[in-house]
Amino acid sequence: MGEMEVPADALWGASTQRAVLNFPISGQRMPSRIIRILGRIKAAAAETNAELGLLPADVAEAIAAAASEVAAGRFDDQFPVDVYQTGSGTSTNMNANEVIARLAGERLGRRVHPNDEVNRCQSSNDVIPTAIQLAAAEAIETELLPALERLRAALAAKAEAFWPIVKTGRTHLQDATPIRLGQEFRGYAGQVEEAIRRAKAAQAELLVVPLGGTAVGTGINAHPEFAARTCVRLAEALGLPVREAPNHFHAQATLDAVVAAHGGLRAIALGLWKIASDIRFMGMGPRAGLAELALPETQPGSSIMPGKVNPVIIESLTMVVARVVGNDATVGFSQTGSFFELNVMWPVAGVALLESVELLGAATANFSARCVEGLQATDRGPALVEQGLMLATALAPVIGYDEAAKLAKEAYRTGRTIRELALERGLSPEELDELLDPAKMTEPGLGGAPVAG
C-alpha cells in the first residue's frame, strides 16, 4: 500500500500506523490485559515454532524474549489502536507482531519479519479470539473468583452471627412469617456459592481456544502440532487448563463461548444486585425505615443534610450490575457479526467481556470489605415480630385458616396484636406461648394439631 510515515519514537510499523489513522473512533485502546496475553501467545508460539524446526533457535529466542516483555506490560504504550477497528482484531495482532519484531530485531541486530517470523503458524482470526478468551479466563481466576469467595465467606460468617435474631419475613414486599436474619444471610451465601460455580463454568467455556484454525479454520500455513503444543505452553504460563478447540470451524466463526460465558456473568451480576438490594432495604432508615441492619458508615452522604449517611458501596455495586447487563447486550448482539467462517465483532465483544469480569471482581471485593463485613444487626427486627400479622399463620393448624385470617384482619384494623385477640378467643397464655414462639416458626413443622384445609 505504499510508504507510511511512522513516529520516530514508535516501535510499531506501517500496519499499526494505518490502523491509527483509519480508526480515530473512541480513543479507547485495547485493554492491557488482552495485549499482555497476546504477548504470552506470541512467546509460546515462537518457542513452539523453534521446537518444530520452523524458526531458527536464535530468532525464536529473541521473539520469545521480546514477547515476554510485552506480556510483562513494559510496552503497553506501544499499542495505540482503537477498540473499534477491524472486526477480526487484525490491527491489534499486527501491532503486536510489529512491536515484537522490532524488539527482537534489536536483540539480533537484524530485521525480524512481523508476518513471516513473529506470526508464523498464526492468523489474526485465531490469535485474537484466543487472546480475548484467555484474558477473560485469567481475570476470572485472579480477580472474580477470589472476590466471590471473600463475599461468600463474609455472608456465611454473618449468617452464623445473626442466627439468634428472629425478624419478620417478607414476601411480595408484605409481612410474612418470621425468619431468622441468619437464614436470610444463609440464602445469600448460597447464592454466591452458585455464582462461584457459574464463574468457573464461564471460565471453562473460555479456556477452549480457537488457536490453530488460522484463516478459516482449516489450519492453513500452520504445522498440525502447532496449536496443541502452544496450548500446553500457555497452560503452564497461566496455570490454567488451556486446550485447543476440537472444532476450529465453529470456534472462530462464532462467539458461542463468549456469549455463554458472559451469560454466566450476567447471572452473577443480577444475583449480587438481589443481595445488595436486600441489605440496602434492611438498612433503610435509620429512623423512618426498616433499620434492621446498621450499614458501615463510609462517607458523608449529603452536601446539604448534615449527618446523612447513604449506602454508597451498594450503589456503586448496583451501577456495575447495570454496566454488566449492558455489556451482555453488546456481547449478545456481537454474535450477529458471525458470517461464514469468521465473526467480525471480536474486539468489541472481547472488551465488553473483560470489562464485566474486572468490574464484577473489583465491586464484589469492595462490597465485602466496605459493607458486608461491617454489617451489624439492630433490635428493630425482633421488636417488630410481636406486632406481625402473619403470626396468625401459626394458629391456622389449631383454629383453621378462616379464623386465623379473621384474626389477622382484625389485628390490622384495630392495631392490636395477634396474641391479644387470640387470648380473647379462649386460647390459654401457655398455649399461645407455645404456638407463637417466633423461633419455632423459623423451622419446619405444623405447630399445632393438624386440621383439614
308-316 long-range contacts (CB < 8 A, ≥24 apart) are 311/279, 311/280, 311/283, 311/371, 313/366, 313/367, 313/370, 313/371, 314/276, 314/277, 314/279, 314/280, 314/367, 314/371, 316/363, 316/366
Active-site annotation holds for 428: no
d(CA 363, CA 360): 5
24 burial via Cβ count (<10 Å: 0-12, 13-18, 19+): exposed
User: In the numeric block, which cell numbers belong to residue 217?
Assistant: 479454520
* Cell numbers placing 203: 471460565
| In the block, residue with C-alpha cell 473489583 | 362
Omega cis (within 30) before 450: no
The answer to whether 16 and 81 are in contact (CB under 8 A) is yes
Annotated catalytic residue 172:
yes
Per residue in 328-345, is it b (16+ CB within 10 Å) or e — as a string?
bebbbebeebbeeebbbb
Measured in residues, the chain has a length of 453
How far are the Cα atoms of 96, 176, 351, 421, 428 from residue 210, in angstroms, in the given order? 18, 52, 18, 71, 74
Place of cell 392495631: 415
DSSP 30: P
Query: Mapping DSSP to helix (H, G, I), strand (E, B) and coil, where does residue 293 land?
Result: strand
* Residue whose grid cell is 463454568: 201
Helix (H, G, I), strand (E, B) or coil at 150: helix
Question: By CB neighbour count within 10 A (0-12 exposed, 13-18 middle, 19+ buried), where does 293 fall?
Answer: buried
Q: Of 88, 123, 172, 248, which residue is the catalytic one?
A: 172
Q: Could you tell me the sign of the dihedral formed by the alpha carbons of 199, 359, 342, 225, in that order? A: negative
Q: Across 195-242, where does the E strand assignment appear?
A: 208-209
Of 15, 32, 124, 302, which one is the catalytic site residue?
302
- Beta-strand ranges (E) seen in 227-292 are 243-244
Residue type present at position 32: S
Catalytic residues: 172, 302
